[in-house]
Structure 1
Amino acid sequence: MSSPFDLTGRVALVTGASSGLGARFARMLAAQGVKVVAGARRLDRLKSLAETIRAEGGQVEPVEMDVEDEASIQAAYDHAEATFGTVDIVIANAGVNAQGPATDLAADDLGQLLRINVQGVYLTAREGARRLIASPDPSRGRVILLGSVGSLRPLAGLTAYSASKAGVAMLGKGLAREWARHGINVNTICPGWIVTELNAEWLAGEGGQKLVKTFPRRRVMTPDHLDGLVTFLSSDASSAITGGVFAADDGQSLA
């Protein structure tokens, strides 16, 4: 009897895969036998990631992809289907940040943040669902959106970012309800502060350490802390789980 957590042979598209959580998701899924399409704007970084994954024995296809561009999203899915077949695991991870007081945030910067964090997630999920619905077995569909601890409460100095991630959480619920009749699951993961190459230096400094001391466990998460939840939500074990908003924050939202 096969395990309901077995992901062998499934096809995943991961956005924002050139670094950080996206790169981790791509490597982790490939290590479990998933055929991974790694999408992002930085193709050079994706090619480097692909070399690593292939050296580890995984199957991966890097594809240049801009979630602000609907045609680019459609082209990435076309490439995925031509290479591996129908994408049945969608991980809409691409996102950007905008720090500072709300009174100082330029309209153009706000617009870009919303286009990537909300519209880009919407378009990525929608394109995946359209193709799943047209496939012989839509019920294999697993759509995972990346929210944030900011989806659950406002983060100091990150008002616009928190608002965008709250939008992602509600988007996930709405899409889950709409696509439930097709058997497609949609869930949102809300990570807390996780150390990545973009924030490692700041987190190690005075300001970062001051923040960490406010966390119940006095530590920062690492990308591998999400492996179990992503595996679960991608697998048949989560067949009855849809519309969920999962705080995966090491208790940070309890502070």
Structure 2
Amino acid sequence: MTNNPYSLFDVKGRAALIVGASGAFGSIASRALAGAGCKLVLAAGNKGACEKLANDCKNLGAQVETINLRPSSEENCRAMTKLTVDSFGRLDILVVASGINKIAKIDTMEPSTFKDVIDVNVTQSWLSAQAATKQM
């Protein structure tokens, strides 16, 4: 048993996959984990933003790999997970930061718009978690 409860939160050397890394939340999570000593795989649909973020994280001392994919299919999610395990031998942390927000009143939103939001925010998060947990 440890005498230091903060050691429970030490992530130095852990391998993290950040899905939606180039977005607002994903980029903050990526930089925070890089600064804490994690090895990172940054996954994003925006290749340029992902590469810039990767450089920022490397400047914080992190080992970083990138993959230009969105979690829109089981195959994509498996590829992200595989890159993490192939690069670092493990997957310890999953951050799912991808998502969309289409604001509309319930009485005017088209059902297809609602389905798109649910697909990206729920289904794709589930696919990411399903692929990752098989390696955790």
TM-score (norm 1): 0.49
Q: 1:89 aligns with which of 83, 90, 93?
A: 93
More relative contact order in 1 or in 2 (CA 8 Å, sep 6+)?
2
Whole-Å separation in 1 of the counterparts to 2:108 and 2:21: 30
Structure whose alpha-carbon radius of gyration is higher: 1
Structure 1 runs, 4 residues or longer, greater than 2 Å off: 1-5
Residue 8 of structure 1: aligned partner: 12
**8 Å contact kept, 2:74–2:131:** no
**8 Å contact kept, 2:18–2:96:** yes
Whole-Å separation in 1 of the counterparts to 2:117 and 2:104: 13
Residue 46 of structure 2: aligned partner: 42
Whole-Å separation in 2 of the counterparts to 1:68 and 1:20: 19
Residue 183 of structure 1: aligned partner: none
Whole-Å separation in 2 of the counterparts to 1:127 and 1:96: 21
Q: 1:62 aligns with which of 56, 59, 66?
A: 66
Secondary structure, in 3 states, of the residue corresponding to 1:108? helix
Q: CA deviation at 1:68?
A: 1.7
Answering whether residue 88 of structure 2 is matched by residue 77 of structure 1, we say no
**8 Å contact kept, 2:23–2:97:** no
Whole-Å separation in 2 of the counterparts to 1:85 and 1:110: 38
Answering whether residue 35 of structure 2 is matched by residue 53 of structure 1, we say no
Q: CA deviation at 1:107?
A: 2.5
Q: 1:31 aligns with which of 35, 40, 43?
A: 35
Residue 118 of structure 2: aligned partner: 114
Q: CA deviation at 1:56?
A: 2.1
Whole-Å separation in 2 of the counterparts to 1:93 and 1:85: 23
Which blocks of at least 5 consecutive residues in structure 2 are unaligned? none
RMSD over aligned CA atoms reads: 1.5
Q: Identity over the aligned pairs, expressed in percent?
A: 27
Whole-Å separation in 2 of the counterparts to 1:128 and 1:79: 11
**8 Å contact kept, 1:64–1:76:** no
TM-score (norm 2): 0.89
